[in-house]
Structure 1
Amino acid sequence: MIAERALKTLEFDKVRAQVASYCTCSLGKTVIDELVPETDIEKVLQLLDEMDEGLSILRVKGNVPMGGIFDVRPHARRAQIGGVLSPVELMEISSTIRASRILRQFIEGIEVEEDIQIPYFIQKKESMPTLTGLQHEINACIDENGAILDSASSELRSIRQQLRAQEGRVREKLASLTRGTNATKMLSDAIVTIRNDRFVIPVKSEYRSHYGGVVHDQSSSGQTLYIEPDAVVQANNEIHQLKSKEQVEIARILLMLSLKVQEVAPDIFITVQLLGEIDVILAKAKYGQANKCSKPIMNSDGYIKLGKARHPLLPIEKAVANDIEFGKDFTSIVITGPNTGGKTVTLKTVGLCTLMAQSGIPVPALDGSHLAVFNQLFADIGDEQSIEQSLSTFSSHMVNIVDILNQFDDRSLILFDELGAGTDPQEGAALAISILDEVHGRGARVMATTHYPELKAYGYNRPGVVNASVEFDVETLSPTYRLLIGVPGRSNAFEISTRLGLPDSIIDRAKTFTGTDRHEVESMIASLEESRRQSEEDAERTLELRKQAEALQAELDEKVKAYEAKKEVLEQKAKDKARKIVDEAKKEAEEVISELHKMRLNANKIVKEHEIIDARKRLEKAAPENKVLKKQQQLKARAQELSKGDEVKVLSYGQKGVLLEKVSNSEWIVQIGILKMKLDESDLEYVKPEKDKQTVNVSSVRNRDSNVKLELDLRGERYEDAIVRTEKYIDDALLSNYQRVSIIHGKGTGALRQGIQALLKRHPRVKSYRFGEAGEGGYGVTVAELK
C-alpha cells in the first residue's frame, strides 16, 4: 500500500475531491473519499478497464441514469436487528431498488443495441439482485412524500373513512355555533380551529360560561379562550380514539414492511455496493472527459513515458504540457536549474499521474502514455520545517530521507525535491550525490531536483542517470516550464542581470571570479539548449510534412475506394448487359431451332436452300460476339494451313465439314452435309484424320447423290423395309464422306431400334453407335460414327 505521507505530500486528496464532484450519489463520494492506489497490476488493469467501459458508455449514450439512489445500508441493518423503519426510510429503499432496476435495463439495452464491449458492467448487472417485489409492496403502502396511503390495508381505509366522517360532523357542529345569533358578540372570530389536536372555537373570555366545555388555550392577551364546547367533547373523544387506532394500524404496516426489508437485507447490501461501484467508475470517466485525460498503458517494469503530461491540479489553460520518459535506458533523472522554474511541478506531475493510474483514474496526458505500477511511492517535497520537534528544514528533510532509505526497494518510485538543501552547499551537494548513488544503485526509479551546480555533471558520470532542466526564457525573464531531458540547467544569472540593467563592468568583473571550467560548462549547456531547440524545430517540420503526407495518402485512398466502387458498378452493368444479350440470343436461337424442327417434321414440305441459309444467318446474328473466343479461334486457324479437301470443324455450329474451295484470302466454301456455306477461315478448325483414307472427290460425290441427308427417318416403316433402307443409307453416307449420321426409328415397342442397332453392330464400316442426346431425339434416335 502507498504510504499516507506520500498521498498527503502530493495532494492526492484534492484529486479525489475533483473526481468525487462527478458522483451522482453519496455512495460514490464515500468510496472515492477512501480511495487509495492499488499495488497489484491485475487489479489496476481491471480498474482502468472498468473506467474505459464507462467512458465508452458516456460517448455512446451521453449519460447514465443514476438518480434516486440512497445509502440505505443503515436502514437495512436496523431492520436486521428488529427495528421498525420510518416511511421516509422505506421510500428511500424503494427508490434505490427502482434505480437499480432502471440501471439494469439500461445496461441490457446497451448490450443488445450498441456495438461496444462492456463485460465488467454486464457482470455487475448480472450480480445485482432483483428486488422489484419489495419495491412494489412499499409503493403500495407509502406515497412519494412518505405518507401512508389509505390503500395500505383495508383496516386503515375503514378507520380513515370513519375519522373523516366524524371530523366533518364536529366541524359542522362548531360551524353552526359560529353562525348563531350571538356569535358575533361572543366570539373573537367566526372560525373553527384546532388546539391540542382537538377542534375548538375562539371565545371572548367574558362569555366563557355561555358555551361551557374545556379551555385548551388562550391568546397572549388573555382576551380570547380556545374552548371545546360540551356539545362536541364526546365527538372529539371519538376522533381521538380513531386517530389512535390509525396510528396502531400504521405501526403494524411499517412493522410488516420492515420485516420484508429484513428478509432481503443481504441483497440490499449487495445492490448498494454495486451501485456505489458503478457511480465511482462513471465519476472517473466523467472526470477524464472533462479534463482531457486518457487511459495509460500499465507495466510492472518501472517504465514511465508521459506524452504532453499536465499537472492534474492546475487549470488546463495554464498548465504546461511536458514529455517525460525514464525507466528503460535510464532510471534516474536529476533536474537542475534555478528556483521557481517548475522543477517541483514536474515531480508532482509524475507522482500524481502514477497515483491516479494505480487508482483507476485516467491521467492528463496523451493516448499511448505508459505508467508503471509501484509497490511504494516516496516523496520528499516542500519545506517541512517542524517547530514542534525543534527541527530545521534540513533536519526535517533528512529525517524523511532516512525513513525512505529504510523502506524502499527496486519496485519503488522516489521523488526528491531540492535534495541536500538547507545546509552548507558543498556538503549538501556531496550528500545529494551519495543519496542518489544509494537509491539508484538499488534499482529504484528516482526523480530529483537540485540547484547545486556540482550535480550538473552527475548524469554524465553515472550510467542509467540523465540530466534535465526546466527551460528559462532570458528575453522575457520568466521560465517556460518546459522540461528539457538531457540538458542540465544553468543559472542565467549574468544574462538576467544584464537584461535588468546591471552595468557591464560589474558583470565582467563577476565573470572573472568564476572558474574557467565553470564557464566552459555553462557554454556547453547553452550549446546543448540551442541544439535541442533546433532539433525540436526540425521535428515539428517533419511532423508537419508527415501530416501532409498522411492527408495525401488518405485522399488517394478515398479516390481508390471511389474508383473501385465505380468499377464494381460498371462491371455489374456490363454483366447485366451481357446477360441480356445472351438471353436475347438464346431466345432467337430457340425460335430458329423450333422452325427447323417444324420443317423436319413436315415430311411433305420441301425445304428450300434459301430457307436454310436464312435460318443459318439468323443463328449467326443471334450469337453474341465473343472477342476472346474469336481471337483464340484465329490463333488456332493460323496454326494449321488449310487446303482444299481438308476436314474441318465449324466452330460456330459445332459441326464437321469439308473444304470445297477458297473464294478469298480468308473465306472458304464448306460442305456440311447437304449444305454449302461460305465461312470465314477464323471460324474453321482443322480436324486431323484418324487414319489415311482414300481420297474422295467431293464434287463427284456431290454430283452422284446430292439428296443424301445427315439423318434417315424410318418412323412408320415396316421392319424389313427399314433394314433395307438403312443398309442403302449407310452406303450412300459413306460415298458422301459423312463421318456421322442419325437414324430416326422412334421409341415404340423397341423392335425396330434393336434391329437397326444389330445391323450397325455387324456393319464393317460402322465404328460405333449410341443413342441420341437430349437435343438429338433421345432413345428415339441412334447416332452412328462411320469409318
Structure 2
Amino acid sequence: MNEHALKALEYGKIKQKLMNFTASSLGKNLIEQLAPSGDVREVRERQEETDEGATVLRLKGSVPFGGITDIRPGLKRSKIGSMLQARELLDIADTIRGARLMKNFILDLAEAEKLELPILTGLVRDMEPAGGLERQIRSAIDDQGGVMDSASPELRHIRSQIRTADSRVKQKLESIVHSSGTSKMLSDPIITIRNDRQVIPVKQEYRAAFGGIVHDQSASGATLFIEPQAIVDLNNQLSEARAKERHEIERILRVLTGETAESADILLEQVDRLAHLDFIFAKADYGHAMKGSRPMLNDQGIIKLKKARHPLIDPGHVVPIDVIFDEHTHALIITGPNTGGKTVSMKTIGLVTLMAQSGLQIPAEDGSEIGVFKKVFADIGDEQSIEQSLSTFSSHMTNIVGIMQEVDFGSLVLFDELGAGTDPQEGAALSIAILDAVYAQGATIVCTTHYSELKAYAYERPGVMNASVEFDVETLSPTYRLLLGVPGRSNAFEISKKLGLPADIIDAARLQISRETNQVDKMIASLEKNRKAAEQEEERARRLKLEAEEKEASLTKQLNELEQKKDQILKQAKEKAERSLREARLEAEKIIDELRHYRDRGQVKEHQLIDAKTRLSHALDALDQPDRKTPSVPVKKAAAGFSPGDHVKIVSFGQDGYIVEKINDHEYLVQAGILKMNVAETDLKSVREEKKVRPVVNVRTSGQTVKPELDLRGERYEDAMLKVEKYLDEAMLAGYPRVSIIHGKGTGVLRKGVTKLIERHPRVKDSRLGSQGEGGSGVTVVEFK
C-alpha cells in the first residue's frame, strides 16, 4: 500500500487504537507490522478470523490471556547456552500454563456450543504445552522468582548451614551490643550490614577495645563500622556458605535452562500462535467497542456503505453517511462549502476501506460491502486557508504525478480539492483532464472540489456520480450529511441574505453570474427540494410498512393462538370421549362379570337384575354426556336421515352442530362452531330445538359448493396451479380431512406441478397417488393437518 495514503488517511491512529485491546506485547508486535492487503482471498481469511474472535467474545465476554508474555528473547538465549534467570524461567512457566488454558478454553467452547471455529481451533489444536518443563520450573522457583529450598537436596543442606551460622553471629553480636560494659562504646545499640558482613557502630575512640575489621565509617569519621574479632570466624563461615548457595542456585538455573533449550523450538512456535490469537481477539474487541460489522467483500471495486462513521471522530458527534459505488459507478464528485464535511466523507471511505482490507470490522451497519483494492492512493492536504501558495500547488501536483505513474485497474484514488491553489479556470480544466486520465485506467475515484465545472462533469460522463454535503441555510451551518446524486451549491446568496445583506446588492451579484450557472443552481435547488420531498415520502412509507408489519405479526400471533386453542379443544374433547368410553366399558364388563357370577351360583334375584340394568344405563348415559359439568341437551333417536340445517349432536365429541350437506348414504358434512368435519351417520343424533327457526348454515364457499374433489383435466398449467392453491384453502376451511385432485396421467406435467405445490402448502399433512379404485396415478389424494 502507498505509504503516503496510509499517512494521509491516519491509518496509524487506527493501529494505535487497536493496540489498546491487546493482552500482551505479543499482539502489539503484530499490530505494528499490520498493513492492508490487496489480495481478496487473504482479506477474506483476515475477516473470517476476526469474525470467529467476535463470536467467542459474544458468548464468553473475555479470553484467558493471563500470564502470557513474550518469552522469545529468553528462549533464543537458552538455545545458545546463555543461562536464564529465575524470573525469566518463571515467565516461561506462566506462558506454558497460559497456552494450556487457552487451548482448553477454545476447544471446550467449540464443543459445548457446537461452533464452527476452524481458524481458532486450528491454531490451538496442535499446541502441546510443555507440561513437564512447567512442573520442573515451578518445583524449583516460587511465585516471586526466588529459587526454593526444594530445588535440590544440596541447596536445602546449604541453607540450613546458613541459617545456623547466621543465628550464631546474631547471638554473639547481640551479647556485645547489650553488654553493660560495651554499650557506652557504641554510637547506637544496633547490628547493621557492611560489605555483606554483620557489624556494629563503634565510637572512634573505642576502636582498640573491639579489635577485628573496620568495614566503613560515618561521614564525620566519629563512628566506625567494625566486625569484632570475636565473630570474624563466624562471618567467614557464613560467607562461605552463601558462596556455596550461589553456586548451587546457578547450577539449578543452568539445568532448567538446558531443559528449556530442548523445548525452545516448540515453545517459539506456540508463542507465535499465542501472538496471533492475541491479535485476533484484539481486532474482535475493537470491532465490538466501535459497534462495527463484518463487511461483504468483492474485487470489482463495488462499495456500498450503510451509515458509515469515521472511526476517529467522537461517536457522539460523528454523522453517518451512505455511499454507493455499484458496477456502473466508478467515480464520486463531492461538492459543497468549506468545513461542510467533504474531506471527512472522503476520508471515511478511504479509511474504512483500509480497515476492511486489514481484517478489521468497519464502523458501519450490517450489509455493507467493500471492494478490495490492490492499491490505495490519496492526495489530501489542508485546503481550508483562503490563499493557496504556489509551493502548496506544486506539492500536490508532485504527489498527483506520482499517483498517475502507478495507478491502474484495481486502484482506489482519493483527491481532496483537486486543482486547488491555482487559477480557477486552469485548475478546473486541469482537474477534468486528471480525472479523465485516472478514470481511463479503470481506477475508482473519490474527489472533492469547489469548481462548478466539475458539477457538470458527472452528467456528461457515464459511471460518474455527483454528491454533496448538506448545508442548512436556516441555521447557516453544515449538517455533514452526504447526499448522493445531488451536486452542491455555494449558497453564498442565501447566506448573505440571512446575514442582512441588502437585496439590491444580491440581485446585482446575480446579474454577474452567467445564465448557465444560474440555471445549474436552480436545477440543484430543485433537486434538493425533490430529494427532501422524496425522503419525507420514504420515511412515511417506512413508517407505514413498520405499522403494517406489526399488525401482520399481531394477527399472525392471534391466528396461531386460535389454531393452538382449537387443537387443544379437539384434543381435550377426544381425550374426554375416550376416557368416558373406557370407563363405560369397564363398568359394563364389571356388571357382566357379576351377572355371570350370580348365574353360576344360581342366585340371580329380581332386585339384582334391576340394579345391574340401572348401572348399565348410567354407563351408557356417560357415553352421551362425557362432561358431567356441561348441561345436558335433549336428544332424540336418529331419524332415517338428516337434511341440511338439521341441529345434531356429534356423539363421540359431545359437540353440537348443523348438517351442511349429505356426502353419501352413510356420511354427512357437519359444521361444529368454526369447524367443518365429515361425520358418520351412526355418530350423529338429532337434537330437539327449543326454537323453531333454524340458523342459516353457509355451505358454500366463493359462491359455489366445495366438493371433495377437483378436476384439472384439460386445464392449462398456470390456470391449474392457481385453481389448486385456491381449492386447497377452500377445502381446508370447509373442514374436509382429505380431498382428491384429478390431474390425469398424460405427460405428467400437471401431476408434478400439483405435487410441488402440495409440498410447500403449510396445512397439508400428507399426499399420495390414488389407489386402484381411486384413479391410480391420475389422481393425488391430499390429507390436511
Shorter-normalised TM range = 0.7 to 0.9
How far, CA to CA, are the matches of 1:343 and 1:259 in structure 2? 62
How far, CA to CA, are the matches of 1:129 and 1:415 in structure 2? 48
Residue identity opposite 2:460 in structure 1: N
Q: Is residue 576 of structure 1 aligned with residue 578 of structure 2?
A: no
Q: Is the 1:383–1:393 contact (alpha carbons within 8 Å) kept by the matching residues of 2?
A: no
Task: Look up the match of 2:465.
Answer: 466
Secondary structure of the structure 2 residue equivalent to 1:124: helix
Task: Look up the match of 2:40.
Answer: 41
Task: Look up the match of 1:454.
Answer: 453
Cα distance change on mapping 1:113 and 1:567 into 2, 3 Å: farther
Residue identity opposite 1:85 in structure 2: L
Task: Extract unaligned runs of 5+ from structure 2.
Answer: 628-634, 644-650, 653-680, 685-785
Q: CA deviation at 1:46?
A: 2.1
Q: Is residue 525 of structure 1 aligned with residue 501 of structure 2?
A: no
Secondary structure of the structure 2 residue equivalent to 1:392: helix
Task: Look up the match of 1:8.
Answer: 7
How far, CA to CA, are the matches of 1:557 and 1:115 in structure 2? 32
Secondary structure of the structure 2 residue equivalent to 1:166: helix
Task: Look up the match of 1:17.
Answer: 16
Q: CA deviation at 1:609?
A: 13
Secondary structure of the structure 1 residue equivalent to 2:377: strand
CA deviation vs aligned residue, 1:241-297 (integer Å, no higher than 9, x gap): 111110111001111111111111122212222222222222222222222211111
Cα distance change on mapping 1:635 and 1:228 into 2, 3 Å: farther
Secondary structure of the structure 2 residue equivalent to 1:191: coil
How far, CA to CA, are the matches of 1:413 and 1:298 in structure 2? 15
Q: Is the 2:302–2:369 contact (alpha carbons within 8 Å) kept by the matching residues of 1?
A: yes
Secondary structure of the structure 1 residue equivalent to 2:437: helix
Cα distance change on mapping 1:609 and 1:85 into 2, 3 Å: closer
Q: CA deviation at 1:307?
A: 0.8
CA deviation vs aligned residue, 1:212-232 (integer Å, no higher than 9, x gap): 111111111111111111111
Residue identity opposite 2:23 in structure 1: T
How far, CA to CA, are the matches of 1:62 and 1:561 in structure 2? 37
CA deviation vs aligned residue, 1:391-413 (integer Å, no higher than 9, x gap): 72222222222222222222111
Q: Is the 1:134–1:260 contact (alpha carbons within 8 Å) kept by the matching residues of 2?
A: yes
Q: CA deviation at 1:117?
A: 4.0
Secondary structure of the structure 2 residue equivalent to 1:371: strand
Task: Look up the match of 1:180.
Answer: 179
Residue identity opposite 1:299 in structure 2: N
Task: Look up the match of 2:732.
Answer: none
Task: Look up the match of 1:208.
Answer: 207
Cα distance change on mapping 1:583 and 1:78 into 2, 3 Å: same
Residue identity opposite 1:225 in structure 2: L
Q: Is the 2:383–2:417 contact (alpha carbons within 8 Å) kept by the matching residues of 1?
A: no
Within-5 A mapping of 1:265-276: 265-276=264-275
Secondary structure of the structure 1 residue equivalent to 2:215: strand
Task: Look up the match of 1:75.
Answer: 74
Q: Is residue 289 of structure 1 aligned with residue 288 of structure 2?
A: yes
Secondary structure of the structure 1 residue equivalent to 2:51: helix
Q: Is the 2:577–2:623 contact (alpha carbons within 8 Å) kept by the matching residues of 1?
A: no
Within-5 A mapping of 1:648-659: none
Q: Is the 2:213–2:226 contact (alpha carbons within 8 Å) kept by the matching residues of 1?
A: yes
Bigger drift between 525-534 and 614-623 goes to 614-623
How far, CA to CA, are the matches of 2:162 and 2:563 in structure 1? 84
How far, CA to CA, are the matches of 1:512 and 1:59 in structure 2? 63
Task: Look up the match of 1:645.
Answer: none
Task: Look up the match of 1:316.
Answer: 315
Task: Look up the match of 1:415.
Answer: 414
Task: Look up the match of 1:395.
Answer: 394
Q: Is the 2:26–2:278 contact (alpha carbons within 8 Å) kept by the matching residues of 1?
A: yes
Q: CA deviation at 1:116?
A: 4.6
Cα distance change on mapping 1:405 and 1:593 into 2, 3 Å: farther
Between the aligned residues of both structures, percent identity stands at 49
Task: Extract unaligned runs of 5+ from structure 1.
Answer: 640-650, 653-680, 685-787
How far, CA to CA, are the matches of 2:566 and 2:129 in structure 1? 57
Which of the two has higher C-alpha Rg?
A: 1
Q: CA deviation at 1:152?
A: 0.9
TM-score, normalising length from structure 2? 0.76
Q: CA deviation at 1:372?
A: 1.2
Task: Look up the match of 1:28.
Answer: 27
Q: Is the 1:97–1:135 contact (alpha carbons within 8 Å) kept by the matching residues of 2?
A: yes
Cα distance change on mapping 1:624 and 1:165 into 2, 3 Å: farther
- Root-mean-square deviation (CA, aligned residues, Å) is 3.0
How far, CA to CA, are the matches of 2:65 and 2:622 in structure 1? 74
How far, CA to CA, are the matches of 2:451 and 2:120 in structure 1? 52
CA deviation vs aligned residue, 1:382-430 (integer Å, no higher than 9, x gap): 1599xxxx97222222222222222222211111111122222222212
Secondary structure of the structure 1 residue equivalent to 2:41: helix
Q: Is the 2:204–2:223 contact (alpha carbons within 8 Å) kept by the matching residues of 1?
A: yes
Residue identity opposite 2:47 in structure 1: L
CA deviation vs aligned residue, 1:486-517 (integer Å, no higher than 9, x gap): 11111111112222222222222111111111
Secondary structure of the structure 1 residue equivalent to 2:34: coil
Task: Look up the match of 2:341.
Answer: 342
Q: Is the 2:54–2:284 contact (alpha carbons within 8 Å) kept by the matching residues of 1?
A: yes
Q: CA deviation at 1:370?
A: 0.9
How far, CA to CA, are the matches of 1:101 and 1:624 in structure 2? 73
Residue identity opposite 1:594 in structure 2: D
Q: Is the 2:466–2:487 contact (alpha carbons within 8 Å) kept by the matching residues of 1?
A: yes
Q: CA deviation at 1:620?
A: 4.4
How far, CA to CA, are the matches of 1:54 and 1:445 in structure 2? 32
Residue identity opposite 1:319 in structure 2: V
Q: CA deviation at 1:445?
A: 1.2
Cα distance change on mapping 1:454 and 1:384 into 2, 3 Å: closer
Secondary structure of the structure 1 residue equivalent to 2:82: coil
Q: Is the 1:307–1:369 contact (alpha carbons within 8 Å) kept by the matching residues of 2?
A: yes
CA deviation vs aligned residue, 1:536-578 (integer Å, no higher than 9, x gap): 1111122222222233333334434444454454444334323
Q: Is the 1:215–1:225 contact (alpha carbons within 8 Å) kept by the matching residues of 2?
A: yes
Number of matched residues?
Answer: 638
Secondary structure of the structure 2 residue equivalent to 1:302: coil
Q: Is the 1:589–1:622 contact (alpha carbons within 8 Å) kept by the matching residues of 2?
A: no
How far, CA to CA, are the matches of 2:254 and 2:566 in structure 1? 78
Cα distance change on mapping 1:575 and 1:143 into 2, 3 Å: farther
Cα distance change on mapping 1:6 and 1:140 into 2, 3 Å: same
Within-5 A mapping of 1:528-677: 528-595=527-594, 597-598=596-597, 617=617, 620-621=620-621
CA deviation vs aligned residue, 1:63-104 (integer Å, no higher than 9, x gap): 222222211101100011111101111111112122222222
Residue identity opposite 2:207 in structure 1: R
Q: Is the 2:295–2:367 contact (alpha carbons within 8 Å) kept by the matching residues of 1?
A: yes
Q: Is the 1:581–1:624 contact (alpha carbons within 8 Å) kept by the matching residues of 2?
A: no
Within-5 A mapping of 1:75-114: 75-114=74-113
TM-score, normalising length from structure 1? 0.76
Task: Look up the match of 1:477.
Answer: 476
Within-5 A mapping of 1:684-703: none
How far, CA to CA, are the matches of 1:266 and 1:561 in structure 2? 64
Q: Is the 1:585–1:624 contact (alpha carbons within 8 Å) kept by the matching residues of 2?
A: no
Task: Look up the match of 1:236.
Answer: 235
Q: Is the 2:576–2:626 contact (alpha carbons within 8 Å) kept by the matching residues of 1?
A: no
How far, CA to CA, are the matches of 1:97 and 1:564 in structure 2? 60
Residue identity opposite 1:82 in structure 2: G
Cα distance change on mapping 1:513 and 1:108 into 2, 3 Å: same
How far, CA to CA, are the matches of 1:424 and 1:217 in structure 2? 84
Q: Is the 1:36–1:359 contact (alpha carbons within 8 Å) kept by the matching residues of 2?
A: yes
Q: CA deviation at 1:435?
A: 1.8
Q: Is residue 148 of structure 1 aligned with residue 144 of structure 2?
A: no
Q: Is the 1:384–1:393 contact (alpha carbons within 8 Å) kept by the matching residues of 2?
A: no
How far, CA to CA, are the matches of 1:239 and 1:682 in structure 2? 114
Q: CA deviation at 1:108?
A: 3.4
Q: Is the 1:634–1:683 contact (alpha carbons within 8 Å) kept by the matching residues of 2?
A: no
Secondary structure of the structure 2 residue equivalent to 1:202: strand
Q: Is the 1:637–1:682 contact (alpha carbons within 8 Å) kept by the matching residues of 2?
A: no
Bigger drift between 33-42 and 107-116 goes to 107-116
CA deviation vs aligned residue, 1:145-176 (integer Å, no higher than 9, x gap): 11111111111011001101001001111111
Task: Look up the match of 1:170.
Answer: 169
Q: CA deviation at 1:356?
A: 0.5
Cα distance change on mapping 1:563 and 1:142 into 2, 3 Å: farther
